[in-house]
């Protein structure tokens, strides 16, 4: 099947599809655009999404799956800024579990994040059972304890102490759920794509009344290939964990937006 289909009657030969294509896939002749490099198409859908007349279709990113932008609500930059700044890392969760459908809706947004050359390529494991997370914390504490003389991260002694002396989980924060991003073990862009995709998840979570936090300590133990931890999760053959996010209902509401370091910009 041909990659590109053009309705000659609708095409005005404006060449917008050619201009926005990131991979120089298209050229034009008297009949309109056609694919000169079909194998280079990364299925980003830019060519079809930019066309004012719906005259071009792309088999790898069909027009039929695109949604007209004019129906979308427009948010002001002030609202957008408030929204972006109101996302916080949540470290105190309610015990109430999140319905599975809500978690599925949440994770679905990850598909729309930018990824290297539109490679996407991630899958997700939802760790729904809190008992598995409790085991995970215990294992991570053991892993940290084994290296107290020379810890990989300065905070390890504190986490071990919190757990051993007070039973406090400062690693997975008693979160009810954990989302694991996984990718094929030979996938070069796994981590970058994960950071981008889980950042979308973090932002979207707030609109569903959910809170989230990167599970960086968990990730350190995963990236150290600590088998007792990895064995807890049924990771499909040939895949590795590329990122982890705690999720649940936040216990408390923040009353203020915080400030950060002033932006540092060099103009050349």
Ligand X SMILES: Cc1cc2nc3c(=O)[nH]c(=O)nc-3n(C[C@H](O)[C@H](O)[C@H](O)COP(=O)(O)O)c2cc1C
CA nearest neighbour of 87 among 7, 206, 4: 206
- Contact letters for ligand X, residues 59-88 (x by CB under 6 A): -----------------------------x
- Which residue is at the shortest CB distance from ligand X? 216
What is the footprint of ligand X within residues 215-234 (CB under 6 A)? Answer: 215-217
Q: 105 vs 153, which CB is nearer to ligand X?
A: 153
- Contact letters for ligand X, residues 84-123 (x by CB under 6 A): ----xx-x--------------------------------
- Contact letters for ligand X, residues 8-27 (x by CB under 6 A): --------------------
Closest distance of CB 85 from ligand X, Å = 8
* Residue carrying structure tokens 């991570």: 140
Q: What's the per-residue H, E or C state across 31-60?
A: CEEEECCHHHCCCCCHHHHHCCCCCEEECC
Phi and psi for 126 in degrees, rounded to 5? -95, 115
The answer to whether 224 and 152 are in contact (CB under 8 A) is: yes
Q: Look at the chain and count its residues.
A: 268
CA nearest neighbour of 112 among 46, 180, 22, 197: 197
Nearest-10 crossing angle of helices 156-166, 130-145: 120
The whole-angstrom separation of Cα 110 and Cα 32 is 35
Does residue number 239 form part of the binding site for ligand X (CB under 6 A)?
Answer: no
Q: 6 vs 178, which CB is nearer to ligand X?
A: 178
- Contact letters for ligand X, residues 154-193 (x by CB under 6 A): ----------------------------------------
Closest distance of CB 89 from ligand X, Å = 3
Residues that bind ligand X (CB under 6 A): 88-89, 91, 213-217
């Amino acid at each position: 099947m041909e990659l590109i289909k053009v309705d000659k009657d609708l095409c005005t030969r404006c060449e917008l599809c050619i201009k926005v294509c990131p991979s120089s896939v298209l050229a034009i002749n008297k009949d309109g655009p056609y694919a000169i490099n079909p194998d280079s198409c990364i299925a980003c859908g830019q060519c079809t999404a930019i066309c004012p007349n719906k005259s071009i279709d792309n088999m790898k990113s069909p027009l039929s799956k695109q949604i007209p932008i004019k129906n979308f609500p427009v948010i002001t930059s002030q609202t957008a800024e408030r929204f972006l700044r109101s996302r916080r890392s949540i470290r105190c969760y309610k015990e109430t579990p999140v319905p599975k459908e809500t978690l599925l809706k949440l994770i679905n947004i990850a598909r729309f994040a930018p990824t290297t050359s539109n490679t996407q390529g991630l899958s997700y494991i939802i760790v729904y059972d809190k008992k598995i997370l409790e085991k995970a914390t215990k294992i991570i504490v053991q892993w940290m304890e084994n290296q107290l003389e020379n810890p990989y991260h300065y905070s390890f002694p504190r986490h071990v102490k919190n757990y051993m002396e007070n039973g406090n989980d400062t690693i997975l924060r008693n979160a009810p759920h954990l989302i694991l991003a996984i990718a094929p073990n030979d996938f070069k862009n796994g981590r970058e794509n994960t950071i981008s995709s889980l950042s979308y998840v973090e932002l979207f979570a707030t609109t569903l009344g959910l809170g989230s936090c990167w599970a960086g300590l968990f990730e350190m133990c995963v990236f150290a290939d600590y088998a007792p931890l990895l064995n807890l999760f049924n990771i499909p053959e040939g895949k590795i964990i590329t990122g982890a996010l705690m999720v649940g209902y936040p216990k408390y509401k923040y009353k203020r937006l915080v400030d950060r370091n002033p932006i540092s910009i060099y103009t050349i």
